[in-house]
Amino acid sequence: MREEAVMNMSAAMKNKISSNVDELMAKYDKGSRYRVLSGAQGKIVSALLFCFTVFQLYYGIRGGIDAQIARSIHLAFGLTAVFFLYPTSSKMDKYSLHPLDCILGILAGACCLYVVVFFEDIVMRQGLINGMDMIVGGIAVLLVLEAARRMIGLPMVVISLGFILYALLGRSIPGALGHRGVSLEGLVQHLFYTTEGIMGLPIQVSSTFIFIFLLFGAYLEKTGMGEFFIDLANSVAGSSPGGPAKVAVISSACMGTLSGSSVANVVGTGSFTIPMMKRLGYKGEFAGAVEATASTGGQLMPPIMGAAAFLLAEITGTPYSKVILAAAIPAVLYYLGVFIGVHFEAKKLGLKGLPKEEIPKFSTVMKTRGQLIIPIFVVIGLLSSGWSPIYAALGAVASTIVCAAIKKETRLSFMDIIQGMVAGAKSALTVIAACACAGIITGVVTKTGLGLKVGSILVGIANGNLILTLFFTMITSLILGIGVPTTANYVITSTIAAPAILLITDAAGVPVVPVLAAHLFVFYFGIIADVTPPVCLAAVAAAGVAKSEPMETGMQATRLAIGAFLIPYMFVISPDLIMINPGPTVISSIITAIIGICCVSIGLTGFFKAKMNVIERILFIIAGLLTLKPGYKTDLLGLVLIAVVYYLQTKKLKNNK
């Protein structure tokens, strides 16, 4: 009876809170500000999204379509749906289609299908475009920018326009960044009629791996997987000191499998966890920071790390199964740092866990919805067995529907399956807009060689020093990541910042940093920009839920996310941590990394066995940094400092008694 009461109370609380989720998402995430259409308009848009998914499933299963044609069809569906679903401004009517948006949607689809219809003719002209090509291509570029503005916001559009101007005005730019310039005709041809620009690698990955995994995520959400993660985390950690904060950490890490958006993760889980944390005694700023940090890290957590991870695999030429293997240890270290920070903050404040009557029993949670976790293991198993990500995702979609059917409470009806196809296509629109707009940036970079120019400048400033180059690359990635979604964020940092790291070579001219390590480095810092002031989108969203001060929330989140600022340096210097040719020292590297992350988190929190003074905190942080640095001498020195602080803390504890 108690278990039923807990589950019913939990469900009632979720129903009450979920009514605010859509409002919060619309406020902090542009991708959630879509029209709610009914009647004939709603049916037309739903049919469009359904057909989009049918095409993607056909292409994923059968293939056999030229890559550029498939990308054009993918973009035609995506851009048309964007203009139909997303109004020009938030002030416009969100319950009916505006005639202008209908025209723009049809025009965007027609521009993309122009490539499909005249594909052979365009190919035969070998890069030469005629007047009609120029008009269609120019309109398409402008519509891509407008779609990105509606879905993502102005920062991405401003960056893209800056790159376009850089391409056109190259002759007028002085110094090392100058180039011979690109004509308007040549730029349009390169951006729209080749696989180097809008139809380039980002859209290729969006049209293959990303779409199917987003469809998988849509079905997981349809079965109530998000609620299952929260209940599961509650049953495991809810009663421990600072329980709700630990629930936020665990559930947000799991929610990374459902969403590639930090803001979506924050609002989705934060609507439940932040009020619980505040009720327990955490300040609003800290509660928001915990959720922002944990939700942002969801994109770093295998097996599904958000859309950008698939781009990383393609750009580096690394099988996705190796990418998730490489990301596993750093992700665990990141969440360990957050978890330790949360635990000792609770100890410092004397906070307890949730009352037992509010915590669902683990066995009950597993008995009710435990079968929903099977598809996650299916994905891991298929990827580990050498299946391509597309077929692994298709298998996961099928297993989700089958596993949901085991229990009546989670079973999907025929209409649920159809709605899941529509929801999957809708969830892909933000990624499509971001990838298409990012294609403009990569197109300019490949046309002008900007990536190598910036890389050479950064290496020159660092005078060839690896640590300084990494530091400057980190700053560049954080700046480029401001206000830009993760997918586009990684495309920018991988083309502008990553080359700098790879320019550091040994005497034989071989890069001293493995390609995968360099790209994971910029991947991490591009993502962590979501909690780094001044913009810190995830922290601002969390502050909105917590009703706290945004910048203070961002500063607290940065402190909790300290692991994300240290771990990338660790795996660049010691690739053992990302399992690149792991040697005999891999176990000791992992152990000392765990000790180091824990020490830094504890030192920043200011509590261990008792409250720490300034000297103890500094010693503990130094000890953590020493053990993070590879080498037995620094490890031993770090352990000695840990022992000193442990002795001082033990003595202080005895004196207090």
Task: Provide the pLDDT for residue 654.
Answer: 81
Burial tier of 95 (Cβ tally within 10 Å: 0-12, 13-18, 19+): exposed
Bridge partners (DSSP) of residue 505 are 511
Residue pair 605/620 in contact by the 8 Å Cβ criterion: no
Q: What are residue 270's phi and psi, to 5 degrees?
A: -65, -30
Q: Mean of the pLDDT values across residues 65-94?
A: 91
Task: Provide the pLDDT for residue 638.
Answer: 92
pLDDT class for 72, splitting at 50, 70, 90?
very high
pLDDT class for 22, splitting at 50, 70, 90?
low
pLDDT at 6 over 50: no
pLDDT at 265 over 90: no
Task: Provide the pLDDT for residue 537.
Answer: 78
Q: Give the integer Cα–Cα distance in Å for 290 and 252.
A: 10
Q: Report the amino acid identity of residue 545.
A: V
Q: Which two tokens stand for residue 364?
A: 């009950």
Task: Provide the pLDDT for residue 455.
Answer: 84
Tens digits of residue pLDDT in 110-144: 999 999 999 999 888 877 888 999 999 999 999 99
Task: Provide the pLDDT for residue 137.
Answer: 95
Q: CB-based contacts of 111: which residues, under 8 Å, 6+ apart?
A: 136, 137, 139, 140, 143
Q: Give the integer Cα–Cα distance in Å for 467 and 459.
A: 10
pTM of this structure = 0.85
Whole-angstrom CA distances from 578 to 323, 327, 573 are 9, 6, 11
Q: Mean of the pLDDT values across residues 340-358?
A: 81
Percent of the chain predicted with pLDDT > 90: 29
Q: Mean of the pLDDT values across residues 400-406?
A: 90
92-96, 283-287, 479-483: segment of lowest average pLDDT: 479-483
How many residues can be counted in the chain?
A: 657
Q: How many CA atoms lie within 13 A of 574 on its CB side?
A: 22
Tens digits of residue pLDDT in 416-471: 999 999 999 998 898 899 889 989 998 998 898 888 888 888 888 888 888 999 99
Contacts 24+ apart (CB under 8 A), 137-140: 137/111, 137/188, 137/189, 137/191, 137/192, 137/193, 138/188, 139/107, 139/111, 140/108, 140/111, 140/112, 140/192, 140/198
pLDDT class for 262, splitting at 50, 70, 90?
confident
> What residue spans of 350-388 are helical by DSSP H?
362-369, 374-384
Q: Which two tokens stand for residue 104?
A: 């723009």
Q: Mean of the pLDDT values across residues 170-189?
A: 89
Task: Provide the pLDDT for residue 417.
Answer: 92
28-37, 90-99, 504-513: segment of lowest average pLDDT: 28-37
pLDDT class for 5, splitting at 50, 70, 90?
very low
pLDDT at 403 over 70: yes
Burial tier of 17 (Cβ tally within 10 Å: 0-12, 13-18, 19+): middle
Q: Mean of the pLDDT values across residues 71-87?
A: 95
Find tokens 């009450």 and name the residue. 16
Tens digits of residue pLDDT in 612-643: 999 999 999 999 999 988 788 899 999 999 99
pLDDT class for 106, splitting at 50, 70, 90?
very high
Indicate the DSSP class of residue 30: G
Q: How many CA atoms lie within 13 A of 181 on its CB side?
A: 10
Q: Give the integer Cα–Cα distance in Å for 590 and 346.
A: 26
CA-wise closest residue to 289 among 529, 543, 535, 567: 543
pLDDT class for 602, splitting at 50, 70, 90?
very high
CA-wise closest residue to 484 among 173, 166, 155: 155
Indicate the DSSP class of residue 611: B
pLDDT at 260 over 70: no
For the chain, the average pLDDT equals: 85
Q: Which two tokens stand for residue 455?
A: 């890389």
**What's the longest Cα–Cα distance across the chain?**
86
pLDDT at 3 over 80: no
By three-state DSSP, how is residue 507 classified? Answer: coil
Tens digits of residue pLDDT in 181-216: 899 999 999 999 998 899 998 899 889 888 988 888
- Tell me which of 344 and 15 has the higher pLDDT: 344
Task: Provide the pLDDT for residue 102.
Answer: 94
